[in-house]
Structure 1
Amino acid sequence: MPQQVSMGATLQCSFGAAPSTLVVLPVNRVMGEGPPAANIMDHVPLVNIMPFGMCSSPANPTVAAATAAAMGVLTPMPCVPATMSPWVTGAPTVLLGNQPSLDNVSKCMCNWGGVVTIVNPATVNTMIP
């Protein structure tokens, strides 16, 4: 059963070298077992989604430039998330701030081809029907 995601959730990008954490601003005024609960609009780079260490996506312009400079050897560069679209699909029957609640099976796409997933939702008791 899907779980509600809250501030401090552990995230992982398919092209990132390290996990990251989700930052949820308390604008919706809904708490999930203490910290603020997230909705699908909590996808803003460097506000909600922090860097994942080093990025190895060849679609990332900085990685492509470094790889070209290294004569074609894949050269990871520091991650700067480019998550411009909301999380999908969320929980459409549970609204937080007039948006679907974010659950632990949702995914967020990075413009450089990575898929951001939720490894640990930071809640253990709040289940979403």
Structure 2
Amino acid sequence: MANCVCNGAKISCNFGDGPKSMVVLPLAMTTTENTKALAVATDTIPMLNIPSFGQCKSLANPMVASATAAALGVLTPQPCIPVTPTPWSPTAQKLKIGKIPALIDSSQTLCIWGGQIKIDDPGQTKITAS
């Protein structure tokens, strides 16, 4: 069984500075014992659900590529602005919140700049799903 992910879960991008807190709005009103909203597969809205990870180090990001070229090939990180066009996957197969599969601690999503965004800490350990 996997742990469900809730508001405040720690997520990270392999091209970012480090873990940040995920924001989950209580739209479906499904909450844990600590009144934290549970996340779903579609909680991928940049700068709302998925925060900036500080500085982006991906050369696929045009801002990083441009700054690196201007620095004569020296990698020059730029502010992270995540672009996440796909839902989280895998998700809970049986548990749905508002008809959308619940997010679990093994879920990942991709940033258009090549980053893999993963769950480092689901934010709770009492609610599980399969």
Q: Counterpart amino acid of 2:63?
A: T
TM-score by length of 2: 0.96
Q: Which residue of 2 aligns with 1:72?
A: 73
Q: Is the 8 A contact 1:8 1:122 kept in 2?
A: yes
Out of 28-37 and 95-104, give the one that drifted further.
28-37
* In 2, Cα distance between equivalents of 1:2 and 1:55: 30
What is the TM-score normalised by the length of structure 1? 0.97
CA distance in 2, matches of 1:92, 1:108: 17
Alpha-carbon shift at residue 122 of structure 1 (Å): 0.4
Query: Which residue of structure 2 aligns with residue 21 of structure 1?
Result: 21
1:1-129 aligned at under 5 Å gives the runs 1-33=1-33, 34-129=35-130
- Determine what percentage of the aligned residue pairs are the same residue: 42
Ranges in structure 2 where 5+ consecutive residues have no aligned partner: none
What stretches of structure 1 of length at least 5 have no aligned partner? none
Other structure's SS at 2:89 match = coil
Q: 1:19 offset after TM fit, Å?
A: 1.3
CA RMSD, 1 decimal: 0.8
* In 2: Cα distance, 1:114 partner to 1:17 partner: 12
Greater alpha carbon shift after TM alignment, 88-97 vs 48-57: 88-97
Matched length: 129
Structure (1/2) with the larger strand percentage = 2
